[in-house]
Amino acid sequence: MSSDTGEQVLAAHLARLRFEVIPLQGIEDEVLAHVPRDMKVTVTVSPTKGLDPTLDLSERLAGHGYEVVPHISARLVLDDGHVRWILARLKSAGLREVFVVAGDASEPAGQFAGAADLLSAIAEQGHDLRDIGITGYPESHPLIDDETTIKAMFEKAKFATYIVSQICFDARVTMRWIEDVWARGTPLPIYVGIPGAVGTTKLVRMSARIGLGDSARFLRKHGTLLGRLLVPGAYSPDKLIRGLEPALRDPERKVAGFHVFTFNEVEATERWRRDRLEGLEGLVSRTA
């Protein structure tokens, strides 16, 4: 992969994005209308609505032929019996991959305070899951200090097959973090989290909600980028993915791909993906 051109590398990654959606009313129809069946769809979990909406939507989308990855929030899982019930439900629906997070609930609903606890319980139960994802934070976690997040990464990594990074608008920060993760002895493939083609007002609001404080400071420092965010229309991740190109071409293949936080702006994000993919493929064909 290291011998490929930048256009080829980006095209390959844009052809196999992961789209993250929120299980809200109407999103199933949006996915069916705009997302190709060969795209992997991940479904978030709400600390207030619980796991059922996530699992319900995941099952329905799987029934439509999508490869679906439900998020499982540790703080919403009650006990070992609940773990067995979840695993049985996943198996029945043919769901072979999960993304395990601690979750944003202020207090655990049961015996699992964090993702590592739940991952350990899942391993003890035995399962036929093919892949298990965990979260990584290129910037400081809004609720957890850096030393704790580093320790948690080691605890979680032994149960996982990949990492998904939280959004960071500074590609240089993300690339340094990727190198640090592997240097610390956690050589898992990383899906880099990027925002989709999201309305600018929504993106600023959601960034604040999920605690992207360092990224917000980066945007303020780079006023032209902040200005583009605040004009009418949708944010484009073009500059961000271009900035990440050196990491994408790394011969060790540290980066597995992009994980797109669509914030349910599915149609606009898929339109952006198709437009960029067509443009990149055109460049590749002209230089071949």
Task: For the chain, give every domain's residue range.
Answer: 6-198+236-283
Per the CB < 8 A criterion, the answer to whether 40 and 260 are in contact is no
Residue partners of 47: CB distance under 8 A and separation at least 6: 73, 75, 76, 103, 104, 105, 106
Nearest partner of 72 among 9, 161, 160, 133, judged by Cα: 133
Question: Which pLDDT band, with edges at 50, 70 and 90, does 5 fall under?
Answer: confident
Which pLDDT score, from 0 to 100, does residue 222 have? 45
Look at 119 and 280; give whichever has higher pLDDT.
119
Question: Which pLDDT band, with edges at 50, 70 and 90, does 153 fall under?
Answer: confident
Residue partners of 248: CB distance under 8 A and separation at least 6: 9, 10, 13, 255
Question: Which pLDDT band, with edges at 50, 70 and 90, does 227 fall under?
Answer: very low
Which pLDDT score, from 0 to 100, does residue 277 have? 93
For all residues of the chain together, what is the average pLDDT? 87
Question: Which pLDDT band, with edges at 50, 70 and 90, does 190 fall under?
Answer: very high
Q: What DSSP designation does 48 have?
A: T
Per the CB < 8 A criterion, the answer to whether 206 and 235 are in contact is no
Which pLDDT score, from 0 to 100, does residue 149 have? 67
Task: Give dist(CA 230, CA 286) in Å, integer.
Answer: 36
Q: Over 50: is that where the pLDDT of 184 sits?
A: yes
Nearest partner of 144 among 122, 115, 173, 118, judged by Cα: 115
pTM, entire model: 0.88
Per the CB < 8 A criterion, the answer to whether 94 and 64 are in contact is no
Structural class in CATH, domain 6-198+236-283: alpha beta
- Residue pLDDT, tens place only, 155-175: 999 999 999 999 998 999 999
- Residue pLDDT, tens place only, 236-264: 899 999 999 999 999 899 999 999 999 99
Question: Which pLDDT band, with edges at 50, 70 and 90, does 276 fall under?
Answer: very high
